[in-house]
Structure 1
């Protein structure tokens, strides 16, 4: 991500979350010039630490972040996330909040002429009824599962926005669809977590019992 004319400034949204904090650990520990380390000593990485750095749901605050750091590249991993039960209860909230976050980040990236944006999607974007194996060309081949359709459609919209920004403005916006992410800084709350983090840990047996009793 380096630039031939000036040092690259990589802004990571959601820098204190599961994915963002993992990226931070890698960047801070891998040797410069290695596959996963900084490209150069002058390359700068900015990890946004949640709402204390600005609310990405607010366009003015988002623009202020971009004006402050003047990023050349964006790793967009910020999102309102939750587990099965949270999504079932709050599909509208997950749709509304994530649409605003994604729209503001991509619009600000366009206005500030960022060279590249990589957004993090989710496997929930794939259709509920689909033939396996699956690939990214099948994302829009049917509706997502009803349990988290709000979050899924918000993430699908990023893919549409990427294509639209490239078509109209020539922006280099793309996405990655990782699978089953878990690790340090995950959410272990019974109602809001995903299955793997909720059932792991020292009290995993008790957690499994509590989680299964939810059904």
Structure 2
């Protein structure tokens, strides 16, 4: 992927650089996918508290970025969101406002923020697309996080209209991969299932999957998403967000995802679906037709291969993985 906009050096600051997507981008950058004109800095929560405006300003003053990939957020799975909706709203609004305003003050050329498909209206038609973000309230289970992420789109529009800024956002579907948070109680569905399967195998107990297994999701491998982020950084010139996802036909049920993990890890025990636990949203099918107009030939890693690579990484790095 080549750069088509400007020949000067790019100093790219990645917030949330130690998380799932940040680590994937770093892996590609260190693996030779950075251009000679690009300098990359990956920021973790240890480097600065982005809910604090002064700390945010200090980090920008130190790094002097020309471009920002904004991944930092307070995140969690369904059950943590249901418990702490206010905290998710406040933390994320503070982080986003500090990063976008400081980027504006520093004359940053481009900011790409990361949204989520959970921001879309709960009552909607499928597939969802980029025009439908503000068409109704999000699912009640994670309204704090969803509204905070939606407001990035509003701010991007504001910075563009008032100041001519190129601030945009991407909307990935369910991301998974190496360096994920594999916490069973508070993490997302796929890493949680990988950790559960590992423990069930180790302890000789059944694998208990929360919910009916019927909800359907589009999963995107973190390395695929990282490649798309780098493309957006260099090539995408719209303020309007873009959904980064596999196609609708790649959607899998939670039951199929669990079966893929069971197969990847060679688990031979019983699999039980605990239907007393909430399913969350039944589906969030997203259209990737806008992405395909730009990148008709982009090759996504097959789901089973990506699951196998993630499971292998987790087993090999069990002691250091986030869990």
Same fold (TM over 0.5): yes
Please give the residue correspondences for 1:142-161 in structure 2 after superposition, counting only pairs within 5 Å: 142-161=136-155
Contact 1:165 1:171 (8 Å CA) reproduced: yes
SS of residue matched to 2:172: coil
Contact 1:98 1:151 (8 Å CA) reproduced: yes
Identify the match of residue 51 of structure 2 among 39, 54, 57: 57
CA shift for structure 1 position 187 = 1.3
SS of residue matched to 1:176: strand
Q: Does 1:96 align with 2:90?
A: yes
- Quick one: structure 1 residues 208 and 164, their matched pair in 2 at CA, closer, same or farther if it must change by over 3 Å? farther
Task: Please name the residue that 2:80 is paired with.
Answer: 86
Bigger CA radius of gyration: 2
What is the root-mean-square deviation of aligned Cα atoms in Å? Answer: 1.7
SS of residue matched to 1:74: strand
Q: Does 1:39 align with 2:35?
A: yes
Q: How many residues align?
A: 206
- Quick one: structure 1 residues 46 and 3, their matched pair in 2 at CA, closer, same or farther if it must change by over 3 Å? farther
Please give the residue correspondences for 1:1-215 in structure 2 after superposition, counting only pairs within 5 Å: 3-4=6-7, 6-30=8-32, 37-40=33-36, 42-50=37-45, 52-201=46-195, 202-203=197-198, 205=200, 208-209=207-208, 211=210, 213=274, 215=277
Equivalent-residue separation in structure 1 for 2:51 and 2:150 (angstroms): 18
- Structure 2: gaps (5+ residues): 212-273, 278-323
Contact 1:199 1:207 (8 Å CA) reproduced: no
CA shift for structure 1 position 39 = 2.2
Contact 1:66 1:108 (8 Å CA) reproduced: yes
Contact 2:193 2:209 (8 Å CA) reproduced: no
SS of residue matched to 2:113: strand
CA shift for structure 1 position 208 = 4.5
Contact 2:120 2:138 (8 Å CA) reproduced: yes
User: Runs of at least 4 residues of structure 1 off by over 2 A?
Assistant: 1-4, 204-208, 210-214
Report the TM-score, using the length of structure 2 for normalisation. 0.61
Task: Please name the residue that 1:33 is paired with.
Answer: none
- Quick one: structure 1 residues 127 and 204, their matched pair in 2 at CA, closer, same or farther if it must change by over 3 Å? farther
Task: Please name the residue that 1:34 is paired with.
Answer: none
Equivalent-residue separation in structure 2 for 1:134 and 1:99 (angstroms): 24
Equivalent-residue separation in structure 2 for 1:207 and 1:20 (angstroms): 34
CA shift for structure 1 position 200 = 1.7
* Cα-to-partner distance string for 1:183-202 (whole Å, 9 max, x where unaligned): 11111112211111111255
SS of residue matched to 2:185: coil
CA shift for structure 1 position 146 = 0.4
- Structure 1: gaps (5+ residues): 31-36
CA shift for structure 1 position 29 = 0.5
